[in-house]
Chain A
Amino acid sequence: MKFTSMFIGALTGATMLCSPALSAELKFVTGATGADIEFAQKTFAAFEKATGNKVTIVPMPSSTTDQFGQYKLWLAAGSSDIDVYMTDVIWAPQLADQFVDLTDASKDVIKAHFPSIVESQTVNGKVVALPYFTDAPALYYRKDLLDKYGKKAPATWDDLATIAKEIQDKERAAGNKDMQGFVFQGNAYEGLTCDALEWVKSSGGGQIVEADGSISINNPKAAAAIERAKSWVGSISPAGVLGYQEEDSRGIWQTGNAVFMRNWPYAYGLGNSADSKVKNQFGVVPLPAGSASDKSAATLGGWNLAVSKYSKNQKEAIQLALFMASAENQKANALFASHLPTIVALYDDADIAAKQPIIPQWKNVFLNAVPRPSAPTKVKYNEVSSLFWNAVHDTMSGKGSAKDNLEVLEAKITKLKGANW
């Protein structure tokens, strides 16, 4: 026994000595959402075949907040345990110092991606993470209900409210007691920042903190947009919407109890699954705008691949990130898990159009994508976001007017900013 293990040990040692650069053991960390892990395993099998490097997956809870806390601790401790991180689109500025500069490595391929996504991952001219797949919300509408009442998908928020109110009331009168006009994400959390940013931006109220770092949120257009959203609560949206996250709104939508829903692409596939009550009965359009002259806005979400500065196998890790972000792999991901590619050309791909018809439709949504102010506010983004969603949530639950709350919000963000972001 002892001799055998010694022999194996010696053998392993010899092998390692002979081929130091041939194979590296890489660790990839990601949130464990069923299909993601399954797809990553397929990718890594292909990667190992092509390069001889083995990749192990470290699964994490799917809540981005929980992931962020853990990653921040690992990186702060300079841990070399993880080589490649899957990062949320808003994290880049907060973790930029801990990740390898991918500008050179990606210079041949980066132009193929959506510029807005690349911009969100670029901090001080340094590409922090490679886009892997992307997310942007849209307005889901019930085709059957709109046809029944002779309506078209709305282009402005006011249209949406009018149509939602009419259909909701008529449907309720017809015995459909649980029918709601519009469901969205109103809980006090990051999701509300996304929703409210869309209301404000699409009404010409700016994007909380502008790209140059100036604080723009305290303006009449933003206040009007939030007051408008407040008027939905209890009329076209259930009062409980102030506690909803994505899954709560999808729950109402998928049981056939909502005319409109604001949600991310993942709800599309699930909405068309076998047990869904709205299967084949709904469509998707870009979110409404404030008025006919305003532009629709969709908050940019999505996931990226970053290489840890503390990785002991940086070369191989960068290779892996490039492999995963490549057009071939993104196409496979789109076909397998209906994840939206970050490469512009893939939206015209015939295979994707055939198997996932929704993806080409989403291109219009992306063209209006607005980033959350994570780039200008850097490490203070989480706090800015929390101040913003609290101000919006307070307004919508009747604690003060939007005007007053935004004034206080501006003062708080200004104090947080200090001399410079």
Chain B
Amino acid sequence: MTSQNLNVTDARNAPTVKVLGTSELTQERLRAAMWFLVPMLLVLAVVAGWPLYRTIYFSLTNASLTSLSGATFVGFDNYYSSTTLKSGKVLYDGILVDSDWWNAVWNTIRFSVVSVVLEAFFGMIVALFLNADFKGRGIVRAAILVPWAIPTIVSAKMWSWMLNDQFGIINDVLKRLGFIEKGIAWTASDATAMLAVLVVDVWKTTPFMALLILAGLQQIPKDIYEAADVDGVHPVKQFFRITLPLVRPALMVAIIFRMLDAMRIFDLIYVLTPNSSSTKTISVLAKENLFDFDKFAYGSAESTVLFLIIAVMAALYIWLGKVRFDGGDR
């Protein structure tokens, strides 16, 4: 962190003031680095910055999809507004008082936390297993990545057939085993919809988690374990005292990636349970307002708040978890 700050200062001062101790060579390198960065920054500005700016801009207008250019500025009305009626009654409007919005926020948070915790847990088990030496390890490693490699839309469709209450294989198996009498409408019933989505997401994303954790595990030197074995440390204690602390940086990075990804979940829910209010997340709700309903500005406001939530979460997480993306520990 400190060294980065210094660099920034140097770069800013370099052209005008000659800072003592900064050699010609360093300045030369900084200038070169800047030029190498320019194409990437330009690409980022075009593909990320501009859409973000437009979304925020539209969220402050009354735009509809059919008249984007005719949008006029309405301030923060899409977020929150109040009108006082003649009778003295006050009406509130905007996403901050919209029960659909808060329902979506709750669904998103519930989904993200539960799915990421489960994925981290199972991912760790799978990674420990894959880290062990056994015959055919290479094949198993490749095979375990298959769920991750299948495009979400395809696996979601696959699962929606498997979960079907009439023809689905899952109900069929449960019926044959005698657990249930009638098929359960997994994706249709409010009680089981979120469970269905969670199962599919965990199935799909655990391999990704496992892979990142496995990379962390492989960096742990073997001789630490040998020393622990010589001292007679119980394997469970070895895991909590050696493995977990040493794999933590990798685990943290994996969790943060998954968390940011889970917060904006869309495709899985869009295919499995598109209209169920018990699984509607912020992205699904925003899409509905942006394109299905004629409320482009309102949907933009929802997208903007989602962006802010994710940004704040990422910042907090990095700060609290002391995560360094270069894999080391601070």
User: Cβ of A58: which chain B residues have Cβ within 8 Å of it?
Assistant: none
Q: Are A240 and B183 in contact (CB under 8 A)?
A: yes
Q: How many residues of A contact B (CB 8 A)?
A: 30
Q: Are A238 and B293 in contact (CB under 8 A)?
A: no
Q: At the interface with chain A, which of B15-23, B42-50, B62-70? A: B62-70
Does the CB pair A98–B167 fall under 8 Å?
Answer: no
Q: Bound complex: CA of A390 vs CA of B288, how far in Å?
A: 14
A269 at interface by CB-CB < 8 Å: no
Q: When the two chains form the complex, which single residue of B166, B293, B294 contacts A240, counting CB atoms closer than 8 Å?
A: B166
Does B275 belong to the interface (CB within 8 Å)? yes
Given contacts A187-B275, A243-B165, A382-B293, contact A98 B66 (CB under 8 A): yes
Using an 8 Å CB-CB cutoff, how does the interface string of A37-77 with B read, 1 for contact, 0 for none? Answer: 00000000000000000000000000001001100110110
Q: A188 contacts which chain B residues (CB < 8 A)? A: 275-277
The A366-399 residues at the B interface (CB cut-off 8 A) are: 379-380, 382-383, 386, 389-390, 397
- What per-residue 1/0 map shows which CB atoms of A68-99 lie under 8 Å from chain B? 11001101100000000000000000100110
Contact of B68 among A76, A239, A386 (CB under 8 A): A76
Q: Kindly identify, within residues 289 to 330 of chain B, every residue whose CB is under 8 Å from any CB belonging to chain A.
A: 291-295
Bound CA–CA A389/B292 (angstroms): 15
Stretch from B6-14, B132-140, B185-193, B225-233 at the A interface: B185-193
Asked whether, in the complex, the Cβ of B165 is within 8 Å of the Cβ of A69, the reply is no
A358 within 8 A of B: no
- Give A48 to B89 CA distance when docked, in angstroms: 65
Which chain A residues in 234-263 approach chain B with CB under 8 Å?
A: 238-240, 242-244, 248, 251-252
Give the residues in chain A near B182, CB-CB below 8 Å. 238-240
Looking across the interface, which residue of chain A has its beta carbon closest to that of B164? A248
Bound CA span A240–B182, Å? 9
Contact residues of A: prevailing secondary structure: helix
Q: Does B147 contact A (CB under 8 A)?
A: no
Chain B contributes a number of interface residues (CB within 8 A of A) equal to 27
Of A69, A243, A390, which one neighbours B292 at CB under 8 angstroms? A69
CB-CB under 8 A from B185, the residues of chain A are: 239-240, 242-243
Min C-beta distance of A256 to chain B, whole Å:
13
B237: min CB distance to chain A, Å: 49
Which of B274, B287, B293 gathers the greatest number of chain A CB atoms within 10 Å?
Answer: B293
User: Most A CB atoms within 10 A — which of B164, B182, B189, B291?
Assistant: B291
CB within 8 Å for A73 and B65 given contacts A188-B275, A240-B183, A240-B185: yes
Closest-by-CB residue of A relative to B184 is A240
Assess whether A189 is interfacial by the CB under 8 Å rule: yes
Neighbouring A residues of B294 by C-beta, 8 Å: 94, 379-380, 382-383
| Complex-state Cα separation, A22 to B110, whole angstroms | 61
CB distance A243 to B188 under 8 Å?
yes
Closest to B288 in A: A386
Known: A72-B65, A188-B275. A243 touches B291 (CB 8 A): no
Give bound CA distance, A380 to B295, whole Å: 9
Q: Could you say which residues of chain A place their CB within 8 Å of the CB of B183?
A: 240
Per-position 1/0 for B255-282, Cβ under 8 A of A: 0000000000000000000111100000
Could you jot down 6 A-B contacts, CB within 8 Å?
Answer: A69-B287, A98-B66, A238-B182, A380-B294, A386-B293, A390-B277
Using a CB–CB cutoff of 8 Å, the interface residues on chain B facing chain A are 64-66, 68, 164-167, 182-185, 187-190, 274-277, 287-288, 291-295
Taking beta carbons and an 8 Å cutoff, which residues of A are in contact with B?
Answer: 65, 68-69, 72-73, 75-76, 94, 97-98, 187-189, 238-240, 242-244, 248, 251-252, 379-380, 382-383, 386, 389-390, 397
